[in-house]
Structure 1
Amino acid sequence: MTAPRRWPGRYTDRYGSQEVVFETDGRESIRTTIRGVRFEGDTMDTLGALSGDPPDAMFTFLDGDLCSCLLEWGLPLPVEVAGEGERTATLNCALRLGDPTATGALTEETLTVTLRLDGRDYASGPLDDFEEALERIALALPRGTRLKACVACAWSDYHPVGHAMMAGLACFREAKDVYRLCDGKKGPHGILTIWPRHTEFVQETWLCDQFEHRTSNRGYRNAFPYRGWRPPQS
């Protein structure tokens, strides 16, 4: 895997707004510093203070995780264009985390993702997670243009019980032999059986040198993008 990356971004809440930098290893670690306080989490919606919760006058928390705020960040994302090779697009992300409620939930948690390529924006959201956001963007791209990231890789899959807003995508690049045989959820070649063989967990937007585009005949997941997807009826 490649070296850790730095995503320029912004943090905003009722106390103000400031530019920040998110540092990530592409797997299950995201770090940033906000108002002099160091935060870390597995995903953007689980950022907690490393030294314990700061004073309430500085931030709002739910179960130790930041909330009542807007997190924004951008990152380069490669795409392949048929006949033209690889280009680098920009993926701009915004995660709005609402206020905590008496039931221990948030009033909202919405993700908006926009891919900027050749001066045009392909947007999805507000949604719940990166998988669906990136899939909708992939479906909107011009014919022959494909995302090049772990979410679109032949060797990645999610657990059948579900996954978090981001990350939690299992990479099987060191178990390709068994993953090629995956034929469903259960059974000797089912995803539940081979799950312990996964190499590691990665973020949807990560990428390694063993990337291969995903097709409909690989693993438990559908092809990416899944062209059977339909927008919800209004």
Structure 2
Amino acid sequence: MQIMTKDIFSFPVIFTDDYGTNDVLCYSNGYSLQLELRGIRLTGTSFNLLSFSDGDRQKALATFVMDKFDTIEGLFCVKLPLSIQKDTVMTSGVLLLNFDYRNEKNDITFSLEYNNQTYGTTGVFSFVEDVLITLQKLLPEGCRLRCCMSCRFSSYHPVGNNDFGALACFRLMKGDVVTVDDKHSLMDLWDKSIKENKHITVQETFICPEYDENTGAVWMYKSF
């Protein structure tokens, strides 16, 4: 499989639908996903936006259950690394996310394996944003999630976002981030980042070397 960039990591995915179950590796650079499933190369920013080439469309129609928008309907069970700071020490855990798109659903369940413990709930979520908010509350005192979701340079668009991978990163516009104080100024920043070719969309669980914890000093459109 051709890999997108040199700065990538891989994680396991178990995919299940009416045609069976497959164990594969998914490759990510923190911004987009790439995997090969049943001989078809899939790419996208999230698991409900995976696309294939026009040349593979007929094969995909015979291989997957899909809706009228060519969205693959199935269960994606993924294991992603998640950075956690315990007091002053950086640690990590493994976040299990189940994206259930079967029968036109859009349900997410989760659990976290961290420090020989498992954290999770029986609830069903629609957005990874809410998963991480809930998970932060479940972690022991002194533990703080370190990921794009908790970074001061990230925000969602006020109009709405996808369930995963639709978080905007404004690390190329740090001077502009501090001027944002409401939805209107955020939309202005969003438009400016696109116009200046500085717009980046990241996965909530990712983390980069420019991470800076959100302390509440900067207004942003997210609940973390």
TM-score interval w.r.t. the shorter chain? 0.7 to 0.9
Q: Deviations over 1:195-230 (max 9, x none)?
A: 223541111011111111112221223562xxxxxx
Deviation at 1:49, TM superposition (A): 2.8
Which residue identity is paired with 2:38? R
Q: Given the superposition, is the C-alpha separation of residues 140 and 39 from structure 1 closer, same or farther in structure 2, using an over 3 Å criterion?
A: same
TM-score (norm 1): 0.84
Matches of residues 207-226 of structure 1 in structure 2 within 5 Å? 207-221=207-221, 224=224
How high is the sequence identity, in percent, across the aligned residues?
26
For the residues of structure 2 that align with 1:56 and 1:167, how far apart are their CA atoms? 25
Unaligned runs of 5+ in 1: 100-105, 225-234
Instruction: Provide the aligned length of Structure 1 versus Structure 2.
Output: 211
Unaligned runs of 5+ in 2: none
Q: Deviations over 1:99-149 (max 9, x none)?
A: 2xxxxxx1x211112111112122254211111111110121111100111
For the residues of structure 2 that align with 1:93 and 1:36, how far apart are their CA atoms? 24
Candidates 9, 13, 37, aligned match of 2:17: 13
Which residue identity is paired with 1:35? R
For the residues of structure 1 that align with 2:57 and 2:44, how far apart are their CA atoms? 13
Q: Deviations over 1:1-56 (max 9, x none)?
A: 981221111111122112111112211x2121122222222211122333224264
Structure 1 position 191 matched with structure 2 position 186: yes
Q: Given the superposition, is the C-alpha separation of residues 200 and 16 from structure 1 closer, same or farther in structure 2, using an over 3 Å criterion?
A: same
Structure 1 position 26 matched with structure 2 position 23: no
Q: What SS does the corresponding residue of 2:183 show, helix, strand or coil?
A: coil
For the residues of structure 2 that align with 1:162 and 1:79, how far apart are their CA atoms? 27
For the residues of structure 1 that align with 2:49 and 2:204, how far apart are their CA atoms? 16
Confirm or deny: 8 A CA contact 2:154 2:220 kept in the other structure: no
Which residue identity is paired with 1:219? W
TM-score (norm 2): 0.87
Q: Select the structure that is richer in strand.
A: 1
